[in-house]
Structure 1
Amino acid sequence: MKAVVIYKSKTGFTKKYAEWIAEELHGDIFDVSKADINMLEDYDTIVYGGSLYASGILGVKFILKNLDKLKDKKIAVFATGASPSREEPINEVRDRNFTKEQQEQLAFFYLRGGFDYTKLNVFDKFLMSLLKWQLKKKKELTLDDRGMLAAYENPIDFTRKKNIEELIAWIARENK
């Protein structure tokens, strides 16, 4: 099996997972900005990772617009976000990003990442400031809301190498 991991990371959490996955698979790794579809011909297994951005997976169009060219490959996509791993929101992300047909061609995984306000660009800081303002206006905050507000002052990192185990196991099963 020859594997490649391609990723798009704004704050480093997705990149950390991509590096761990590439290491486990003894595969190559590329930032999506350095990848092109023709280079994927040499690989049996393709893993794409991107952080969540308004429930969209950053850069996943690289894979989706080329699914027809990748039909003979094993494809896994992972998304990272600061939220806890819960089935309902994960299913919403999957269904928002992939059609039923696309879901049959790839496996989707959610890996809990983190949040570091200081690493955001100006535009993203503006958007996150709007979210912070909305949260502060709420009459009752959920545990997740309180955690998000606290993360503006103190970055949080939930990345753990063990979080990739399910993805790695899926690849091992698919390549038997």
Structure 2
Amino acid sequence: MKAVVVYKSKSGFAKKYAQWIAEELQADIYEASKIDINMLMLYDTIIYGGGLYAIGINGLKTITKNFDKLKDKKIVVFATGATPPRDEDIDKVKTSNFTEEQQQKIRFFYLRGGFDYTRLKLIDKVLMNLLKLKMNSKDKNKLIPDEKGMLAAYDKPIDFTRKKNIEELIMYVKAK
């Protein structure tokens, strides 16, 4: 099996997982902007990872726009986010990012990442400040736990990445 791990990471969490996965599988690894479809065609297994923004997976078009060329390969996609994994949220991510055909062929994993406001670029900081304003405008007693955690993370970065989180993905890739 010749595998490649491709990632797009704004704040480092997807990159950290990509590095761990590549190490475990002895796979090649590339940042998404450094690889093209011709390079991907050289691999039997393609693993793509990116951060979740709203419910979109950062840079996923690298895979989805070339799906017809890649669909005979083993394709795995992982996304990182700060919130705990919930089946209903994961289902929304899948249906929002993949066609029905892609959902049948692409195995998706959610790997809990984190949030570090200090690592964001200016445009992302502006968007996150709008979200913060929206959350702060709510009655404090009506904030859900995810919102409370998110507000706290603006002042103190949170990192939920754990190497053990990739175990299921690794087992899937290694299975025939």
The alignment's TM-score, normalised by the length of structure 1, stands at 0.97
Aligned residue for 1:84, secondary structure, equals coil
Residue 149 of structure 1, aligned match among 127, 148, 151: 151
The corresponding residue for 2:136 is 136
Cα distance in 1 between the residues matched to 2:95 and 2:125: 27
Q: Does 1:57 align with 2:57?
A: yes
Amino acid corresponding to residue 84 of structure 1 in structure 2:
P
The corresponding residue for 1:166 is 168
Amino acid corresponding to residue 52 of structure 1 in structure 2:
L
1:54 is displaced (CA, Å) by: 1.6
Cα distance in 2 between the residues matched to 1:94 and 1:138: 29
Unmatched 5+ residue regions in structure 1? none
The corresponding residue for 2:32 is 32
* 1:56-105 CA-partner distances (Å, limit 9, x unpaired): 00100000011111122100000000010111111111111111111112
Cα distance in 2 between the residues matched to 1:103 and 1:171: 16
Cα distance in 2 between the residues matched to 1:162 and 1:92: 24
Cα distance in 2 between the residues matched to 1:57 and 1:5: 15
Range with bigger deviation, 138-147 or 112-121:
138-147
The corresponding residue for 2:116 is 116
1:121 is displaced (CA, Å) by: 0.7
Shift >2 Å, 4+ stretches: none
Cα distance in 2 between the residues matched to 1:57 and 1:152: 22
Cα distance in 2 between the residues matched to 1:40 and 1:55: 25
1:53 is displaced (CA, Å) by: 1.1
Give the aligned length: 174
The alignment's TM-score, normalised by the length of structure 2, stands at 0.97
Cα distance in 2 between the residues matched to 1:25 and 1:70: 20
Cα distance in 2 between the residues matched to 1:36 and 1:24: 23
> Over aligned residues, Cα RMSD in angstroms?
0.7
Amino acid corresponding to residue 6 of structure 1 in structure 2:
V
Unmatched 5+ residue regions in structure 2? none
* 1:20-77 CA-partner distances (Å, limit 9, x unpaired): 0000110000000000010112211000001011210010000001111112210000
The corresponding residue for 2:126 is 126
Range with bigger deviation, 6-15 or 35-44:
35-44
Cα distance in 1 between the residues matched to 2:10 and 2:36: 20
Cα distance in 2 between the residues matched to 1:14 and 1:40: 19
Aligned residue for 2:154, secondary structure, equals helix
Q: Does 1:2 align with 2:33?
A: no
